[in-house]
């Protein structure tokens, strides 16, 4: 929607789910009826299909947001996360370079920082893929943008809380100390586009998210705004942390720092360089296939992202800090 406001020569929307693509097609027909838009059903895991898309449409700027993002589900389905998130990113990013795109922008996540789950580890590797490809395709600027939860997006906590309140409760929160960074959809899009415009290539941008919010406080606020008294009229139920879930998210690792940019809401992360065996380990991981045991897949992820570790250890450290 925001890109359409800049009146590009054309827009290509690629999506694997036909319903989502149909819904955005209907919306864009009213919002930007004169803008030439191609609606493409495409699975990013299909390398030949991705290359055909780039060959046919020759996009100049690519925003790559396709990923499996549900943390507990990806803990149960690690190969699907690896194949879609990492393999899909490599397919799209490589095609962007091969077919002369000027910019490739990866939408990353704070869960890529000191990852405690499969989803976060795969997104960290996606960032590393972009850094790696920058050396191969110097005419394409590869940029990653790292930020937290987007209010109102698909699968976010706001719609879930609304449904639970409408049903009379309880509102479910995993843990009383869980904290998350939040921003609105328009704000997230604006900052992603700003970072895309500023990037010279090879950077990971970190968006200023303000202070993290306690999820239980958000639940209480939503209950009150709905006209109910929290804990009395609408109960809050603590369900326990789910597999791979952190008590809190980080925007940088202990080894990373940031550099200011001309925009107060956007900073550049100083990242450690990819190891010499990055490509070799990546090839081994992607050629493994879904038949490999879960433990072997996790070990291969750890060979690429050494800081990837169990959530239970990170949460114990955090609880000691809180106490």
Average pLDDT over residues 115-131: 96
Active site members: 111
Q: Decide: helix, strand or coil at residue 259.
A: strand
pLDDT of 176 above 90: yes
Residue 188 lies in a domain: yes
State the pLDDT at residue 321. 53
- Among 89-93, 95-99, 213-217, whose mean pLDDT is lowest? 213-217
Residue 16 lies in a domain: no
State the pLDDT at residue 45. 98
Q: In the 8-state DSSP scheme, what is residue 82?
A: I
Packed helices 294-304 and 278-288: angle between N→C axes, nearest 10 degrees: 160
Q: In the 8-state DSSP scheme, what is residue 83?
A: I
* Contact in structure between 106 and 89 (CB atoms under 8 Å): yes
* Alpha carbon separation from 304 to 108, 129, 214, 219, 246 (Å, rounded): 17, 11, 32, 37, 21
Residue 234 lies in a domain: yes
Distance CA 242, CA 119 (A): 13
Distance CA 225, CA 66 (A): 33
Tokens 């693509």 correspond to what residue?
21
State the pLDDT at residue 151. 78
Residue 27 lies in a domain: no
pLDDT of 95 above 80: yes
Kindly report, residue by residue over 46-56, the tens digit of the pLDDT. 999 999 999 99
Kindly report, residue by residue over 228-284, the tens digit of the pLDDT. 999 999 999 999 998 888 888 776 665 566 787 888 888 888 776 777 899 999 999
Q: pTM score > 0.85 for this model? A: yes
Q: In the 8-state DSSP scheme, what is residue 126?
A: H
Distance CA 323, CA 316 (A): 11
How many Cα neighbours within 13 Å face the side chain of 185? 8
State the pLDDT at residue 209. 77
Residue 21 lies in a domain: no
Residue 17 lies in a domain: no
Residue 3 lies in a domain: no
Find the domain containing 105 and state its range. Answer: 42-322
* Contact in structure between 245 and 188 (CB atoms under 8 Å): no
Letter string b/e over residues 260-288, b meaning 16 or more CB atoms within 10 A of that residue's CB: ebebebbbbbebeebeeebeebbeebeeb
CATH number, domain containing residue 289: 3.40.50.720
Distance CA 129, CA 192 (A): 19
- How many domains does one find in the chain? 1
Kindly report, residue by residue over 156-174, the tens digit of the pLDDT. 788 899 999 999 999 999 9
- Among 47-56, 57-66, 136-145, 185-194, whose mean pLDDT is lowest? 185-194
Residue 24 lies in a domain: no
Packed helices 294-304 and 118-134: angle between N→C axes, nearest 10 degrees: 40
State the pLDDT at residue 42. 98
Distance CA 193, CA 307 (A): 29
């Amino acid at each position: 929607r925001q890109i359409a406001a800049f009146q590009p020569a054309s827009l290509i929307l690629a999506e694997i789910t036909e319903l989502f693509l149909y819904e955005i097609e209907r919306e864009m027909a009213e919002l930007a009826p004169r803008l030439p838009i191609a609606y493409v059903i495409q699975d990013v895991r299909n390398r030949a299909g991705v290359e055909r898309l780039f060959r046919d449409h020759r996009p100049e700027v690519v925003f790559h947001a396709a990923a499996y993002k549900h943390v507990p589900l990806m803990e149960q389905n690690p190969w699907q996360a690896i194949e879609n998130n990492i393999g899909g990113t490599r397919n799209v990013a490589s095609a962007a370079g091969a077919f002369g795109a000027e910019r490739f922008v990866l939408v990353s996540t704070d869960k890529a920082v000191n990852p405690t789950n499969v989803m976060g580890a795969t997104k960290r590797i996606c960032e590393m893929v972009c850094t790696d490809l920058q050396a191969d395709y110097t005419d394409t600027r590869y940029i990653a943008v790292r930020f937290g939860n987007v209010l109102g997006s698909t699968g976010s906590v706001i719609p879930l809380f609304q449904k639970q309140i409408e049903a009379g409760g309880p509102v479910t929160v995993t843990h009383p100390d869980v904290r998350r960074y939040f921003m609105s959809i328009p704000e997230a899009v604006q900052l992603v586009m700003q970072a895309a415009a500023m990037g010279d290539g090879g950077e990971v941008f970190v968006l200023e998210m303000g202070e993290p919010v306690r999820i239980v406080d958000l639940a209480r606020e939503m209950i009150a705004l709905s006209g109910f008294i929290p804990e009395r009229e609408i109960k809050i139920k603590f369900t326990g942390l789910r597999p791979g879930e952190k008590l809190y998210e980080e925007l940088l690792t202990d080894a990373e720092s940031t550099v200011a940019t001309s925009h107060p809401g956007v900073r550049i992360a100083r990242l450690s360089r990819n190891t010499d065996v990055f490509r070799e380990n990546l090839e081994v991981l992607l050629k493994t296939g879904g038949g490999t045991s879960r433990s072997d897949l996790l070990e291969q992820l750890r060979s690429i992202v050494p800081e990837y570790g169990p959530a239970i250890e990170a949460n114990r450290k955090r609880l000691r800090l809180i106490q």
